[in-house]
Amino acid sequence: MRNAEWVVAVLACLCWAEEAEPELEGKPLSQWVRQLRSDNRGLQVRAARTLGAAPGELHAGIVPLVLPVLKSERENDKFAAAQVLGECGPAARKAVPDLLPMLEGTQYERNRAAAAKALGQILKEAKPDAEIAKVTEALIVAFRDKYSDVRREAVKACGVIGLAAKACIPHLKTPLAQGDQLLGSHQDQEYRLVRRAAAWTCGRMGPLAAGHMDLLISRMHAEGQHCPEIVEAIGLIGPVHDNVVPNILDKMEQKDGGTVWQTESWQALQRFGAKAEAVLPFAKRFITEPRFYGTNNSREREALVIEVLRFLRVAGPKAVDCLPQVENLANYKYPYNEEDDMTPVMRKEAAKTAAILKERVGK
């Protein structure tokens, strides 16, 4: 038995000395941990997935078994250990000092990416402290890593950590616009994933990310249908100036790229409430003509109409102008009698919205 494996076995015995060692899929935990050091990549991945999916009550026992693997002399072992520790979440907080050096001290980009992701998972929603500040600083440095996987995971990790990582906000500008010159090309795919992560992290920062609003609006017009996280972020930041709502409306009216991405647009407008009343004429047209919103797929169409109905409930007093159209939807029948389970849901949502609007009329 190799020295490292012996250490793991001893730790396992100490951890479960007073009771039978837990098993996962018919194998003891310590055996899965040893498999993290396998020379076979497939076996490593299988072990990482199995340990990562272990019940939460086992995390406290798994962490001390996996920490030695994170310090392995073999670079090929570290990514699997980082994945497991990340899935253990806050229970693996003691792993943070060993994960931090992996962000820059490894030759393998998969290890750096795994370390960044794990740091986010472990420190999710953590309260600010000196360690969080140190981690955030290291993740910001990783925003400039030469590999897109590392940049994406580092940017996303800051968003997962949340407001405790708000120091990252000024540094999100570069990943938000990364690869702009390749927009629409096949080569742009890896950069787009970084941009989507950056937009998502902006949303997680809420109004504190208002300084990026103009850039987000620009990105929405350039690729909104391919990057729904952009308009989602705009919704979470809020209508910080008068141009926010008109720009969302302009993009929605173009109907380029279909209607699926508009789900996030309507959800953003729901957050704005009466501040988005300028969209009401568009909403009225949208729910008046079934073909207006661009698809023959009833599930997609009706799911989108549900979002419009939810917007009307919060869109202020002028939304009562849409009451006749909403009542029609409460009795809507698909023209060719082709209904799936979304049709009755849409009718139910329409009836609920109609009741709210009628109450406003009464007032």
> What string of DSSP letters covers 215-252?
HHHHHHHHHGGG-THHHHHHHHH---STTHHHHHHHHH
pTM (predicted TM-score): 0.88
Using 50, 70 and 90 to split pLDDT, how confident is the model at 2? very low
Q: Which pairing describes strands 23-24 and 27-28: parallel, antiparallel, or unpaired?
A: antiparallel
Mean of pLDDT over the chain: 88
Tell me the C-alpha distance between 275 and 279, whole Å.
Answer: 9
Q: Which amino acid is at 249?
A: L
Reduce the DSSP state of residue 195 to 3 states and report it: helix
Reduce the DSSP state of residue 28 to 3 states and report it: strand
Reduce the DSSP state of residue 24 to 3 states and report it: strand
Tell me the C-alpha distance between 38 and 361, whole Å.
Answer: 69
pLDDT of residue 256: 55
Average pLDDT over residues 125-129: 96
Using 50, 70 and 90 to split pLDDT, how confident is the model at 363? low
Q: Could you give the C-alpha distances from 263 to 81, 176, 292, 326, 337, in angstroms and in order?
A: 37, 21, 15, 18, 25
Judge contact between 14 and 6, C-beta under 8 A.
no
Q: Which of 362, 268, 278, 274 is nearest to 316 (CA)?
A: 274
pLDDT of residue 257: 46
Where helices occur in the chain by DSSP H, the ranges are 3-15, 29-35, 41-52, 59-70, 75-87, 96-99, 109-122, 130-142, 148-161, 173-176, 189-205, 213-223, 229-237, 244-254, 262-272, 280-288, 298-314, 323-330, 342-362
pLDDT surpasses 70 at 340? no
pLDDT of residue 336: 55
pLDDT surpasses 80 at 265? yes
CB atoms < 10 A from the CB of 354, how many? 21
- Show the tokens assigned to 50: 């199995």
For 286-307, b/e burial (b = at least 16 CB within 10 A) is bbeebeebbeeebebbbbbbbb
Tell me the C-alpha distance between 161 and 148, whole Å.
Answer: 20
Using 50, 70 and 90 to split pLDDT, how confident is the model at 259? low
Average pLDDT over residues 276-298: 77
pLDDT of residue 23: 87
Judge contact between 326 and 306, C-beta under 8 A.
no
Tell me the C-alpha distance between 234 and 218, whole Å.
Answer: 11
Q: Which amino acid is at 154?
A: A
For 178-190, b/e burial (b = at least 16 CB within 10 A) is bbeeeeeeeebee
pLDDT surpasses 90 at 343? no
